Structure 1
């Protein structure tokens, strides 16, 4: 049995960035409030907050704790594009979604290398992982893995 579990663990490690075990979160729970790095914390240097090669400054304006105080819905995207192609694709899609909703929502990208404490607080294992939080700080949606544009729009419309 021990050998079987070791083999399964090895396969999970080798299978890439979309290993999703469990966020340990349920829709309806309060979102953890914690300081996360912003572009200002990195003195305007994107490499201090993300491994994303095509970052959009709108995703790094707010720390999670500050965003939760703003009274606006939040799309919280956990993605580490430095080692995850699906994460890169998810963030590309998210930039387009931001163009439509940026006046009504806050968008935050959390990179594992810059904010490992956020991965721990939200119990995220794997990338990408999306949480949508309502204006009261309650998680209304969570999904592991890459989302399609229609799925993202539908989840956002539900919260708005």
Structure 2
């Protein structure tokens, strides 16, 4: 009975430490068990504590396309004299677990939080040097916002 409950509690929240499982058994099911017993039960049930597998950011198909594009640039002899590289990155200000319990042969997959607090950083660089860096919150949902960001970060490259 206790072993089944430990399995159910671990299945419901695979990030819970042994002390929290013990508390859940005591508060919800009125069962007293030592942390050592709970660790042994988890081990017998096949639970292990380890890293969470994250979702890939760049798909393999896109990696191949990027390499092909880079090779094409090298072959063309492009010096990038007339190119401005602009990029935006997002810093997510929310913690989510990178370690969780999982059973042998089954990884613990965790999607990122749906609406975490985010800060966006946008900047540009060219052969002439670096542009300004802009840090902002919210979403880039409007073409005007994108144009104004591009103008602000690239205006240093315009020759009068």
Question: What is the TM-score of this pair, normalised by structure 2?
Answer: 0.27
Query: Which structure shows the bigger proportion of residues in strand conformation?
Result: 2
Greater RCO (Cα-Cα under 8 Å, separation 6 or more): 1
Question: What is the TM-score of this pair, normalised by structure 1?
Answer: 0.27
| Rg comparison, structure with higher value | 2
Query: Which structure shows the bigger proportion of residues in helix conformation?
Result: 2
